Each structure stands twice: as structure tokens, then as C-alpha cells.
Structure 1
Amino acid sequence: MSLFLGKIHYWLFNKILWFEKLEDQIITLAKEEGFNIEDLRKDIEGKYGGKLPKKPLEELIDTDNIHGWLQSQIHSAERRMAAWTKLLIDADEKNYDKLEKIYVNQGIIAAKEINAEDEVPETPEKIFNCINDYILDGMPCDRVNEVVVKDENIIEWKQRICVHIDIWEEVGCKVEYFYDLRNTWIKSFVTELNNNYEYIIEDTGIKTIKRR
């Protein structure tokens, strides 16, 4: 079966697994806030699909529809995230600050994982690539992000399309929450990964990693 799978499929699979770890942290917050986790989990997973079993990709993926299977898992994970996010913020707007803290902490943890296993990324492009090893932005064929400037001190990119808005609006949660929280994650991730660089979002929407 592994003959059908390439590096890109494992790369996407690992990104989904990381996103589900983030989901676990948010569910823990919901439990701390007094939600009935078991009933809510049953309802949310009934609507949007459950988390992936703890099995290798080879045992899970539909080899007759590799692209479709991966895309389905991405959409399922993102719908569940939107649902939990909506529940928490609708219950109390102050929960947004608690969500931010989770994203900050998860950004730091991810960066520490990289720095523990590899050399610290020393160029903007390498940091950009590290970000994309974690965040979900649809399928590679969607080509969501387009790099517009790149040299040894800076990388800038713009978002060509939004692959998230339909998912979040379907669940009834503002997609702005998704982007704001993810930008919080990226900022903490970049700072922890290499403090010589910073992540900035321009008023034009251009996103930048540049040397301080």
C-alpha cells in the first residue's frame, strides 16, 4: 500500500494530526469551563466526523481516493475546530483570550520540537517552510499562498484564495476568529523558532517574516 503514498501525503497527514492535538487542548478548555464534553463531542463528531484513530496512515487512507480522503479529513478537523471555538466564544467572549493562550503555547511547543530535532532555521524561507509543515491551508493544489518577495532577510507572501470561510460559516463561526488565532500561533512560533526574526501582517494583507 505504501507504494501509492508519497512524502506529500505523510506531510498532510502529520499536519492533520497536529491540528487534532490543538483541538484536544481546546476541548480541555471547554471541559474546564464546565461544558458537558461527552455529549458535545458526540454531537460535533456526529455532524462533522470524528478524529483519526491512532493508526499509521497506511491503515487508514483510501488508496482508491487518496486526495479525496485527505481533503475530507482536513475539512472534518476544521469543522470540529470551528464548532468548539464557536461554543466557547458564544458562552463567554472572555474565552477568546483563553483560546489565544492555547494557540500561543502550541506555537511555542511546535517551535521547540523543531529546534530540538534540527538546526535553528536561519533564513526567512526556511522559517516560512517550517510554518507550512504545521498549519492547514487546504490541499497543495489549492496554492493558497503566493510568495511575492524573498531574499536573505525577508519573505513576503499574499493569500490568493480563502479555503476556510465556507467551512467556518457552515458551522456558524466567524472565519476571522480562525485567522486571528492562527496569526497568534504563527507569531509565537516564529519568535520561539528564531528570535532574530519577526512575523508581521501589513495593512494590505501581505504577511512578512523579516529580520529584526
Structure 2
Amino acid sequence: MSAFLGFIHHLMWQKINFTNSLAEEVIKDFENVESAREEIDALGTLETGELSEIIDTFNIHGWLADRVELVEERLAKAVEMYLKDKDIESLKVKFFEKGKSENFKGSKSEAYALVSSKFLDGMPCDGSITVLSDEDDVEFVVYKDVHADIWNKYAGVETYWTLRDEFVRGVLNGKYTLEKRDNIYSIRG
């Protein structure tokens, strides 16, 4: 447990805010936005502001872990509610466009780094995702799906990965391709 805020804590806060922004993007597409927001906000809302001003400095890890769970659940619930009235294809387009809006122009390794900087895959020491190779193509494996517990209560973890993969494809935007074989992903091109 850390006694002070470090780079990793700020990175986690950025990822938390990104995940919450995805939930907000989904909420915007509801016919009755107010009603949807009210239902999703019943799970809890994310604080805004500078991390150093809002975090419990006596319980940094626990405070961040609670927010990770909150925003994952907000996104999962928003997606589940969305899919009651609409099909997943329109949501896939939304996630692709969100990825495309990153205006990525870098290498395959930089693409992986960008995606890793966005999604809540646990702390690096958790080892939930590990890079197998980054010499030519980037290959990484998902050892532990940290999203399954929450997403399987809502729209299913397969839905999470489908939408995330579309975000990644949007980031790559045809410059590279994303391939998946079981729990092993490759960025090729």
C-alpha cells in the first residue's frame, strides 16, 4: 500500500475517468437520458477534480479500487440498458469512432501503450495482461479477465471485449489490424 500518490495512481485515475466517459457516451444515446442517468447514477457517481484533492490519502489503494469497480459497473449497466432497445452494431460503431478519435499515428508498440493507458486491467503488478512479443508485431495475452465479475452481472463479459476490440480497431484505423486467438491478441501490420 502506498503512503503517497505516485505516477501509477494518477494513471489509474485517468483510466477510471476514461471508463466513466465511455459510460457517459452510451448514456447520451438513450431516448430518455435523464431517466437512464438516474438509474445508472443509483450505482454511485464519480467525483470530479484533481486526484490529490479528492482521494483518501490514508487508503489510496482501497479508494482507487472502489472507483474502478464503480465505473466498470456504470459502463456495464449502461451497455446492458442500451442493448435492451438497440442492437450491438450501433454500439460497436460508437466504440470504433471513440477509438478513431484518438487520431493515432504511431507504431504497433505505441498503439498497445495507448490502449493500455485507457482500460482498467488491474495494476501492472497484477499481471492480468502480459506482452509476449513487441519486436515486430505486438502480441499480448489476457491471463486474468478482471472485467468478468462485473460484466457477467450485466451484459456479459463477451460484450465488454467486443466493444473494447472495436475501440482498439478504431485506434488502429486500418493502419494495423487486431487479431484474436483465444485469449491471445496481436497487433499486426
Q: What is the percent sequence identity of the aligned residues?
A: 27
- Contact 2:128 2:145 (C-alpha < 8 Å) held by counterparts: yes
**What do residues 9-58 of structure 1 show as CA deviations (whole Å, max 9, x unaligned)?**
1111111112222222111111xxx23x3233223222x211222x1111
Q: Please list, as runs of the form range in 1=range in 2, the aligned pairs for 1:9-48 lying within 5 A after superposition.
A: 9-30=9-30, 34-35=31-32, 37-46=33-42, 48=43
How far, CA to CA, are the matches of 1:24 and 1:42 in structure 2? 12
- Selected match of 1:190 from 164, 168, 172: 172
How far, CA to CA, are the matches of 1:44 and 1:106 in structure 2? 21
- CA-CA distance at 1:163 after TM superposition: 0.8
Report the AA paired with residue 87 of structure 1: M
| Local SS of the residue matching 2:29 | helix
How far, CA to CA, are the matches of 1:138 and 1:38 in structure 2? 31
How far, CA to CA, are the matches of 1:169 and 1:16 in structure 2? 19
How far, CA to CA, are the matches of 1:41 and 1:77 in structure 2? 13
Answering whether residue 68 of structure 2 is matched by residue 107 of structure 1, we say no
- Selected match of 2:158 from 176, 179, 204: 176
| Local SS of the residue matching 1:4 | coil
Answering whether residue 95 of structure 2 is matched by residue 98 of structure 1, we say no
100-109 vs 183-192, which moves further: 183-192
Aligned residues: 187
Answering whether residue 139 of structure 2 is matched by residue 156 of structure 1, we say yes
- Selected match of 1:205 from 163, 183, 186: 183
Report the AA paired with residue 44 of structure 2: G
How far, CA to CA, are the matches of 2:77 and 2:123 in structure 1? 21
Answering whether residue 109 of structure 2 is matched by residue 125 of structure 1, we say yes
How far, CA to CA, are the matches of 1:84 and 1:186 in structure 2? 20
TM-score by structure 2 length?
0.90
- Selected match of 1:73 from 38, 63, 67: 67
**What do residues 70-108 of structure 1 show as CA deviations (whole Å, max 9, x unaligned)?**
11111100101111111111223x2x1221111011101
How far, CA to CA, are the matches of 2:183 and 2:23 in structure 1? 27
Report the AA paired with residue 126 of structure 2: D
How far, CA to CA, are the matches of 1:64 and 1:51 in structure 2? 19
| Local SS of the residue matching 2:35 | helix
- Contact 2:122 2:128 (C-alpha < 8 Å) held by counterparts: yes
- Contact 1:71 1:139 (C-alpha < 8 Å) held by counterparts: no
Residue equivalent to 1:88: 82
How far, CA to CA, are the matches of 1:26 and 1:8 in structure 2? 27
How far, CA to CA, are the matches of 1:91 and 1:126 in structure 2? 37
| Local SS of the residue matching 2:45 | coil
- Selected match of 2:44 from 38, 41, 49: 49
- Contact 2:15 2:119 (C-alpha < 8 Å) held by counterparts: yes
